[in-house]
Amino acid sequence: MKSFVPFLAAFFLAAAPVLDAAAAAAARNHPAKTRAATKAKAAKAKPARSKPVKFAPVVKKVVAPVVAVGAIGAIDYAGEQVNFSEWQAVRDFIDEMVARHGLDRGELEATMRQVRFVESAVQLVKPAPPGKPKNWQAYSARFIEPIRINAGVRFWNENAAALARAEAIYGVPAEIIAGIIGVETVYGRDTGRFRVIDTLTTLAFAYPEAPNQAARSVFFRTELENALLLARHEKIDPFTLLGSFAGAVGLPQFMPGNILKYGVDFDGDGRVDLRGSTSDAIGSVANFLIEHGWNPRDTGPAVIPAEVAPHRAWESLLERGLAATLTPSELQAAGVSAATPLTADRLYGLVDLQNGADPTEYWVANDNFFAITKYNRSYFYAMSVIDLGRAVRAARLLQGL
């Protein structure tokens, strides 16, 4: 079984950095498309409903329609002025925000008039075309590489006290927290430069045709609602919230709803700041994992290499979702043997990491692995977090830290 070790060797041998610019390239290269049909469909959409949240009174001011180049950087797109405030679905959304949360109608209408349609966000949420097989080793190489390992060592050294405190309070190892922040943003180096209000509005009311279009539209309308509530709560101009093309914010790339639910004021300054406070980011990642099933009592590895029998009775075990549901005896009966003994009273799942034309890797995973998949619903993602965290920890040890 392959692990982070070959990539740790690359940490000492690689001579040139590897930059991950796929999202930026896609945003630049996707062609524009006609808006008329999209607007017509969006006008029929109905906004999501959620429970009211009470926050401080709204700060009344008209925001500028552009983001200045400076401390917060330049936006990643030009966008198109479409006057969302004229779309019936948006007007219905405004009505609900006023009724449920007491937002000022005039201010909200002024905001929606300034929101821009982001074509690149529409293109980037579309699923990848079928045909190319999944390749775990190729995926992993994007994240377990010298730039992130070096940055991870610096991040851990600079935030050792906060990481140790989060581990003590929540029971989430420092290397897992460091792994998530490293995979998400290279430790704050790339937190995204899309205006969150623009991308969330675009995806809420003009999500592209897809089998899950209705559900995803509801999701993004809810996140737009959360973003506006977050801006009011923090007393900030909503257009200063920058993030990914999908609306994720800060070092750990939390969606606005997750900031409201799981954000932690870990530095004690009275506010949750995932954009500027590494301590808040660290505490919030640990809190998110605990709230999504991380088991602090399970201090062993989250994944264990496994071998599978040639009779393939174990194949049905791969369709159990992102949860640990199998006993060790069930795994053994199906022909799965773990490299180290499994705890009899714990549940596990069987994980397959496909490698294109090369043999698939199989692992047995516990609750903690699946807690990471709640951050991003992908086996590849969770394994990359684990491997990057291990590589950073090993690099620190080699430096005597």
Measuring CA to CA, which residue among 308, 391, 294 is closest to residue 351? 308
The distance from CA 32 to its chain's CA centroid, rounded to whole angstroms, is 26
Backbone conformation region of residue 57, classed left if phi is above 0, alpha if psi is from -120 to 50, else beta:
beta
Q: How open is the CA angle 380-184-367, to the nearest 5 degrees?
A: 50
Taking the C-alpha atoms of residue 230 and residue 297, their distance in angstroms, rounded to an integer, is 34
Taking the C-alpha atoms of residue 137 and residue 186, their distance in angstroms, rounded to an integer, is 19
Taking the C-alpha atoms of residue 89 and residue 91, their distance in angstroms, rounded to an integer, is 5
At 160, list the tokens: 């050792």
Q: 351 Cβ partners below 8 Å, 6+ apart?
A: 303, 362, 363, 364, 365, 369, 379, 383
Which residues participate in catalysis according to the annotation? 184
Note whether 226 and 219 are within 8 A (CB): no
Note whether 319 and 98 are within 8 A (CB): no
DSSP assignment of 225-277, as one string? HHHHHHHHHHT--GGG-EE-TT--BTTTTB-HHHHHHH---TT-SSS--TTT-
Which one-letter amino acid corresponds to residue 253? Q
Rg of the chain in Å (alpha carbons)? 22
List residues bridging with 135 in a β-sheet.
Answer: 355
At 153, list the tokens: 């060592």
Note whether 196 and 223 are within 8 A (CB): no
Taking the C-alpha atoms of residue 198 and residue 116, their distance in angstroms, rounded to an integer, is 5
At 369, list the tokens: 């692995």
Secondary structure class of 241 (helix, strand, coil):
coil
